[in-house]
A and B are shown apart, each in its own frame.
Chain A
């Protein structure tokens, strides 16, 4: 049997299951439904997300996430801050990959001002961006095991993520909230010894990926719990605005690092965008594993060609951004993260729309959980991968 046939089978089975759940609700009215509350404080929900699921036996009739437990109103807060002050806010949206949140906002402000960071700053930005992706997604890989009942991977993930966080701390001074990006460049240059240390750590992370591949992805239980579960077809994924690994796992070859021109260094090195045709939980996890490995290779390549020069362009001391509107989005660890910045020529933005990846990625949950069995809720949520702060903002 070819892989395409099995894919069609799995999609059909998922479809039949959801239809059966619908039909059971409509026809067999004598069966009594049950409402299951998962969360707000449940070990399998990465924080305070609450899922309300209506069950018929073991099958979900409908399910809905209930957000808002971590709404901090960043869009409103940006309206009373200056541009340099906003980075410390947006740091806290996706707290596992903080530096990556700062970059699109700074790029949007730079676009409005018509300035560009010097090449060295672009290179260092890209390196730190990829390091935060590695720190973020390596924790996902460890956490994935925990959600499926395997405890060892998370210890390995914490062990190896620590090396990456040490690098970020060495460069920026902050492990989680670097607040390092500035309009026109970076706060500082790289510290001494950073390049050699990074090379060594990237090697360790590649070993970690191999370990995960052997330990988790080759495991029979893992495969049977994730393969064919939570299948999302391409067109549905597009409609819901899924992005990042979730979209590439549906077979869509689209990566914002490659497919748009930004003043960053991704287009200066050669790398690969990974896709998977299946669209199931396994595909989403597998893509992320490949992307961590690819990121370590990107960092290695960038370190070879890092240009010399200043890390800060000439910018006014008091930053006033000219009137206008700009949209910049980047391929963050969780998916497409973008800022729509409206400026009225003031010290701070007039309005900022923060388009975070997890908000869209989680909005598909009512669709994808329809008809699945209760244990699969956990694997599907884990594989969609969200950060609570990234949903609520």
Chain B
């Protein structure tokens, strides 16, 4: 199997299974056992999970495979929100909630995960890359030397999730004042507007256009 490389002109190929399988194989030859897990949805999308120590190496590998277009970089906090949807009555006793951390596609072991996406500009195929971020020391190597555009995305992720990026030139806040405490997109950060005044209702049902009330579809 010939590795995809940016030097060879890619043949017009329908971005389907075989193409994405080749991408996984090629990535495995480049980073080896650091490719922890992958999930391929045929004809749809591809997810890979790499080890934290190989985060930058994965970026280099993907770039040399021709994934030159940097789409975005962010994170996911897999802990269920202790505040639910922010609809609790503040005077009532606290509600019991399931707080088990369940990761999504391509698995994971930690509460926080980095998520990035790069795209091959001529094959029009993207890869979603995930990596675990440890709770005790949430620092990952920066991608900004590989993709210059990662600079701002990492600043945003640092501000919103509190994940550090080693080798990043300047991790200042982008949106919030520099003295702001907390990381707003973490699930344990309360949405204060919802805490002080309960939301009138999560369920909104709009009548279907042209449909009468008895026609309820597969209502649950």
A1 at the interface (CB under 8 A from B): no
B164 at the interface (CB under 8 A from A): no
**Residues of A239-278 contacting chain B, CB below 8 A:** 239-241, 252, 254, 259-260
Given A189-B209, A360-B70, 11 further pairs, Cβ under 8 A: A67-B175, A76-B184, A76-B185, A84-B204, A238-B69, A260-B124, A312-B210, A326-B45, A327-B117, A340-B115, A353-B76
Cβ contacts B126-167/A at 8 Å (1 or 0 each)? 101000000000000000000111011100000010000000
The 8 closest A-B pairs by CB, nearest first: A68-B175, A240-B149, A71-B175, A363-B152, A355-B72, A241-B70, A241-B149, A259-B124
Q: Classify chain A's interface size.
A: 35 or more
**Chain B hits for A241, CB < 8 A:** 69-72, 147, 149
**Chain B hits for A315, CB < 8 A:** 217
**Chain B hits for A252, CB < 8 A:** 121
Q: Are A73 and B184 in contact (CB under 8 A)?
A: yes
Q: Are A351 and B76 in contact (CB under 8 A)?
A: yes
**Residues of B157-185 contacting chain A, CB below 8 A:** 160, 173-176, 184-185
Q: Supply 17 A–B pairs (Cβ within 8 Å), ascending by A.
A: A67-B175, A68-B173, A186-B209, A188-B209, A239-B148, A241-B72, A254-B124, A316-B219, A324-B104, A325-B47, A326-B45, A340-B72, A340-B128, A348-B202, A353-B72, A353-B115, A392-B175
**Chain A hits for B205, CB < 8 A:** 317-318
Q: Which residue of A lies closest to B106 (CB)?
A: A325
Q: Are A239 and B149 in contact (CB under 8 A)?
A: yes
Q: Which residue of A lies closest to B148 (CB)?
A: A239
In the assembly, what is the distance between CA of A320 and CA of B160, in Å?
27
CB distance from B185 to the nearest CB of A (A): 6
Cβ contacts B181-203/A at 8 Å (1 or 0 each)? 00011000101001000010011
In the assembly, what is the distance between CA of A238 and CA of B121, in Å?
8
Q: Which of A71, A310, A316, A327 contacts B220 (CB 8 A)?
A: A316
Q: Are B85 and A80 in contact (CB under 8 A)?
A: yes
Q: Which residue of A lies closest to B105 (CB)?
A: A325
In the assembly, what is the distance between CA of A259 and CA of B87, in Å?
42
Q: Are A238 and B68 in contact (CB under 8 A)?
A: yes
Q: Which residue of A lies closest to B15 (CB)?
A: A260
Q: Classify chain B's interface size.
A: 35 or more
CB distance from B72 to the nearest CB of A (A): 4
**Chain B hits for A316, CB < 8 A:** 217-220
B58 at the interface (CB under 8 A from A): no
In the assembly, what is the distance between CA of A73 and CA of B191, in Å?
10
Q: Are A75 and B185 in contact (CB under 8 A)?
A: yes
Q: Are A82 and B184 in contact (CB under 8 A)?
A: no
Cβ contacts A320-334/B at 8 Å (1 or 0 each)? 100111110100000
Check A235/B72 contact, CB under 8 A, given A67-B175, A325-B47. no
B81 at the interface (CB under 8 A from A): yes
CB distance from A393 to the nearest CB of B (A): 9
Q: Are B104 and A239 in contact (CB under 8 A)?
A: no
Q: Which of A68, A79, A182 contacts B176 (CB 8 A)?
A: A68
**Chain A hits for B173, CB < 8 A:** 68
A127 at the interface (CB under 8 A from B): no
**Chain A hits for B185, CB < 8 A:** 75-76
Q: Are A240 and B104 in contact (CB under 8 A)?
A: no
Q: Which residue of A lies closest to B144 (CB)?
A: A239
Q: Which of B70, B72, B152, B210 contacts A338 (CB 8 A)?
A: B72
Q: Which residue of A lies closest to B184 (CB)?
A: A76
**Residues of A78-96 contacting chain B, CB below 8 A:** 79-82, 84-85
A314 at the interface (CB under 8 A from B): yes
> Considering residues A80, A312, A326, A367, which has the most beta carbons from chain B within 10 angstroms of its beta carbon?
A80
Q: Are A312 and B175 in contact (CB under 8 A)?
A: no
CB distance from A54 to the nearest CB of B (A): 15
In the assembly, what is the distance between CA of A252 and CA of B199, in Å?
46
